[in-house]
Amino acid sequence: MLKETKRTDPELAELVEEELVRQENCIEMIASESTVPVPIMELSGSVFTNKTLEGYPGARFQAGAEVADKMERLAWERAKALFGAEHVNIQSYSGSTANYSVFASVLKPSDKILAMRLDQGGHLTHGSPANWMSKFYNHVFYGCNKETEQIDYDELEKLAHEEKPRLIICGASSYPRLIDYERIGKIAADVGAYSMCDMAHVAGLVASKIIPSPFPYMDFVTSSTTKTFCSARSGMVFCKEKYAKLLDHGTFPGSLGSIHLHTMAAKCWSFRYAATQEFHDTMAQVVKNAQHLAVELQKRGFRIVSGGTDNHLLVVDLRNKGVTGKTMQNALDQAGISVNKNVIPFDPEKPFITSGIRIGLTSVTQRGLKEPEITEIAEIIDQVTRAPEDEANISACRKKAEALVSRFPLYPAGSFDD
């Protein structure tokens, strides 16, 4: 790996090697992470990165587009077949810009957006005051029911009728349950709003039909292509055919510049790979592992937000363990398990402290860990929680974590031989 970088910039090459070793030795459980297959790295570093292009196949602003046109069209066909979509635009650079291109396509400044509260699972780009979208649009928010910790659809419906938003967004960053896309799509239609699902976290599970698809019910579906989709760091947007022109115009020239053809090629590979049995089996195991971890943690006295999970992630309420999310994130990190602190619904703690952690199962499942190893992880998490600031305890946990992952290589031997 990195033959020419080693020759021309050994200092930087060493940092890449160091990061590989870090990833090898770590139990990676940040819910937005996954490990890309080697072809994604090859294609992301391919000669497509040299080409500057704007516009769409058959209507480009620069010469020399004939090969890129074939590739973008191939990616369209694969993506539409994979998700059963009517129209796709794969020029987004990320999940965030995927959302921005929908906003640029159908909204006018000061239009109203109804989205899920950030502190109950929603995403920054859906209307956080810290995100620049809040300067252009008026946001109103729905949230979870306090008892069930699941989306309060009655509140959502009431708000939609009262506020008459132009766009209703569903999809979340830390929501462990299935979303009733059919009901939300109907509510949007009833109040004359566009509907949009941001499936960034669950795209891989949707592609392999492990969980229900938002496509039949939503006008727009956006996503990043990392997370469970396990592809390049990029994005994608789908819509009903009747909005195709609006979406394409809103994407380019509406909100983006020249295309990242190298990551487009990588996404194109994934649109084929995600239809394979191998990917399907991995995604099925991701959900089994998440559900197994929820049960194993519950057996050890942890409270799981909403009582469990239907997808790749779970949110753990640590209040009964007398430890905050921040302390736990640090302690687990020292012990070789990477998670992030996360607010729980109606969290009494501040977002920088939090009462919870979010745990994702994609990366460890890709490495081959199954239920017996997930039980070992639950045991280590429990041991860390019992004395998160005791160095001897953390160092003992780290030994266990490293011994566990050393049995499951991050990449097959020889993947990076020069």
How far apart are CB 200 and ligand PLP at their closest, in Å? 4
φ, ψ (nearest 5 deg) of residue 237: -135, 140
Q: What letter does residue 308 receive in the DSSP assignment?
A: S
| Contacts of ligand PLP in 207-266 (CB under 6 A) | 224, 235
Shortest Cβ contact with ligand PLP: which residue?
95
Residues 144-173 that bind ligand PLP (CB under 6 A): 171-173
Options 5-13, 90-98, 155-163, 408-416: segment touching ligand PLP (CB under 6 A): 90-98
Q: Please choose, out of 194-202, 261-269, 306-314, 376-384, the segment that lies near ligand PLP by the rule CB under 6 A.
A: 194-202
DSSP notation for 66-86: HHHHHHHHHHHHHHHHHHT-S
Q: At a CB cut-off of 8 Å and minimum separation 6, what does 284 contact?
A: 208, 210
Q: What is the smallest separation between the CB atom of 43 and ligand PLP, expressed in angstroms?
A: 18
- Residue 148 to residue 303: CA distance in whole angstroms: 13
Nearer to ligand PLP, 43 or 394 (CB): 43
Amino acid in the structure at residue 369: L
Phi, psi of 295 (to 5 degrees): -65, -45
CA atoms of 207 and 218, how far apart (whole Å)? 16
The Cα–Cα gap between 355 and 350 comes to 9
200 touching ligand PLP, by CB under 6 A: yes
Options 96, 355, 363, 366; binder of ligand PLP; rule CB under 6 A? 96
In this structure, are residues 107 and 137 in contact, taking their beta carbons and an 8 Å threshold? yes
Structure tokens at 159: 């708000």
Q: Which stretch binds ligand PLP (CB under 6 A): 186-194, 196-204, 362-370, 402-410?
A: 196-204
Q: How many CB atoms lie within 10 A of CB 14?
A: 13
User: Cis omega before residue 253 (within 30°)?
Assistant: yes
> Parallel, antiparallel, or unpaired: how do β-strands 337-338 and 27-28 relate?
parallel
Measure the CA–CA gap between 70 and 104, rounded to whole angstroms: 27
Distance in Å, CB of 53 to ligand PLP, minimum: 21
Contacts for 254 with CB less than 8 Å, ≥ 6 apart: 101, 104, 105
Binding-residue pattern over the window 380 to 399 for ligand PLP, x denoting contact by CB under 6 A? --------------------
By CB under 6 A, residue 32 contacts ligand PLP: yes
* Position 198 contacts ligand PLP (CB under 6 A): yes
State the binding string over 105-124 for ligand PLP (x if CB under 6 A, else -). Answer: ------------------x-
Comparison of 96 and 101: residue with beta carbon closer to ligand PLP? 96
Per-residue contact string for residues 47-86; x = within reach of ligand PLP by CB under 6 A: ----------------------------------------
- Contact residues toward ligand PLP (CB under 6 A) are 32, 94-96, 123, 125, 171-173, 198, 200-201, 224, 235
